[in-house]
Structure 1
Amino acid sequence: MPPFEGSESDKEKELEKLHAPAESTDINKKVVTHSGWKSWKDHIPYAIVTVSLVEIVFYIVSNNNLQKLLRFEPNKLHEIWRFVTYMLLHDDWIHLALNVFMQVLFAYFLEIRHGTVRILVLYLSGGVTAVLGASCFHPDLVIGASGGVYALLISHVADVMMNFESLNNKVYRCFCVVVIVISDTTYSVVHIFSKDEPIISWGAHVVGGISGLFLGLVFFKREEYLARVRKLSLFWLGLILYVVLLISLVVLTQQIKKCTPSNLIKTKYVYFC
């Protein structure tokens, strides 16, 4: 009988090893780390939440004088703070609520993977580049954080491009990006043709999204096992394209300023003179 008792004890030990919780926990942690789907309580996107709170405060306390001081105006390009501060202002509470909700949602899946600083820099840089685009293609006053929101949204494409093998739910992420872009584009087209106020700055949306794609290739982390050539190729591709975009917008903005009288700049642009 002793041999039989000993073999049964060994079987129990083997079963305990097979069902050890430590191994299961490690596997789950690995899956969650790569997919980015963790409890929101542990991964609040602090940078964008902080920015959103500041935008809410500015909406509450802002008046006409403050708006005139902070909004982007195409004939006041020398006041460089306007390239950032316009993002703090919103037309009404619906405009504010939509931007705050969307930017926090988009940042949630990015900050837990790439860090607070990277996402904040991408958001602000996308906003600056977006309003440059608005100044080139849409001659009017600009307020709102939509350029930064679009930078965050389209940067998800860059994240998928660089970490395709390790990302879970990448198909759903791409599908959601496409649906949001199509929905917003449809709304913008209908809004423009109906000539409703306020006018949507489609130039800021488009350029903000493009800059988000390029900056995502520059700032986002890459999986360690990816080939070094691929890492460097994506980095330099994003950096070169963004620099070309930025320089082109700056040159075009200066050309418009040179050729267009200040009293006409909100009505039409003259690109060549």
Structure 2
Amino acid sequence: PYRRYEAWRYLSYALIHSGYVHLVVNLAMQTVLGLLLELVHGWWRVGAIYLAGVLAGSLAQSVTQPHFFLAGASGGVYAITYAHIGNLLLNWSEMQFRWVQLVLCLVVTVADVSYALWDSYGSSVQSNTGHMAHLAGAVAGLLVGINMLRNLKLRRWERVCWWVSLFVYVTLILVGIILNATLPVPEFFPDNDYTDFATMKARFLSSLT
């Protein structure tokens, strides 16, 4: 939150994690859920959805919790997860086991929302989970999934849905970028830290001795 002027951090935060468990869980989920989409729709479509979720997650988390430290690829994982709903929407008639997939998506959604509400408002321990990044990643996955995934049989209403999804996603991203760029410091965002890398490295090394 103190180096928002380094714009690449809105994507690169997904490369770091808070521990081995965090990393392994994200890798396992994106591998399983991503492969299921990749086998039909191709790696580049899934990759685009993933990055869309990562970006949406960081923008949303930064605006809603400006002092929150964000790490992990959960925004991208949630995007891939909820792209499956977009896939169901586009290719319902052409898919096997569609009801099973729909029920699984609903169960995951109910369980995740329930945990997020408990973790945010019911737990006695302060939450360190970026639930807003999860939510934004899920919304991005649904919207961009409709845009990016293969439509096996195009219908007229699906073409309208495609344009609506594109408009909504682009609008939300632009709003997020504008808010992150214009909301005041330090009234809303914390003060920027302009410490150079060499100084930070020296501080870190000195803390180890």
Q: State the Cα deviation string for residues 24-78 of structure 1 (Å, max 9, x = none).
A: xxxxxxxxxxxxxxxxxxxxxxxxxxxxxxxxxxxxxxxxxxxxxxxxxx23222
Return structure 1 stretches of 4+ with deviation > 3 angstroms.
195-198
Whether 2:26 is the aligned partner of 1:93: answer: no
Kept in 1: contact 2:56–2:137 (CA 8 A): yes
> Mapping of 1:64-83 within 5 angstroms?
74-83=1-10
Kept in 2: contact 1:138–1:202 (CA 8 A): no
Q: Contact conserved, 1:75 with 1:257, CA < 8 A, in 2?
A: no
Structure 2, unaligned stretches of length 5 or more? 193-209
| Structure 2 residue 95 is the aligned partner of structure 1 residue 196 | no
What letter is aligned with 1:187? Y
Of 17, 37, 45 in structure 2, the residue corresponding to residue 118 of structure 1 is: 45
Equivalent residue of 2:183, what SS? helix
Greater mean alpha carbon deviation, residues 120-129 or residues 250-259: 250-259
User: What TM-score results when the alignment is normalised by the length of structure 2?
Assistant: 0.83
Aligned length: 189
Distance 1:252 1:106 in 2: 32
Which of 95, 106, 119 is the equivalent residue of 1:167?
A: 95
Q: Which has the larger radius of gyration?
A: 1
Identity of aligned residues (%): 26
Query: 8 Å contact 1:151–1:211 — kept in the other structure?
Result: yes
Indicate the residue corresponding to 1:15 in structure 2. none
Amino acid at match of 2:131: W
Q: Say yes or no: does 1:254 pair with 2:181.
A: yes
Aligned letter for 1:165? S
Q: Which range moved further: 201-210 or 167-176?
A: 167-176
What amino acid does structure 2 have at the position aligned with 1:260? F
2:135 maps to 1:206: yes
CA offsets per residue over residues 148-188 of structure 1, 9 Å max, x none? 01101111111011111101111111211121222222223
The equivalent of 1:180 in structure 2 is 108
Q: Deviations over 1:107-162 (max 9, x none)?
A: 12111111000101110121011110100112211001111011011111110111
Q: What TM-score, normalized by structure 1, do the two folds share?
A: 0.64
1:92 positional shift: 1.7
* AA matched with 1:124: L
Deviations 1:1-35 (A, max 9, x none): xxxxxxxxxxxxxxxxxxxxxxxxxxxxxxxxxxx
Taking CA–CA contacts closer than 8 Å with sequence separation of 6 or more, which of the two structures ends up with the larger relative contact order? 2
Q: Which residue of 1 is the match for residue 201 of structure 2?
A: none
- After superposition, what is the alpha-carbon deviation per residue over 1:187-219, rounded to whole angstroms, capped at 9, x for unaligned? 233333325366111110111100111101110
Conserved in 2, the CA contact under 8 Å of 1:91 and 1:144?
Answer: yes
Q: Which residue of 1 aligns with 2:58?
A: 131
Shift of 1:261: 5.6
RMSD over equivalenced CA pairs, Å? 1.9
Question: Match for 2:11 among 75, 84, 93?
Answer: 84
Check conservation: 1:162, 1:234, Cα contact below 8 A.
no
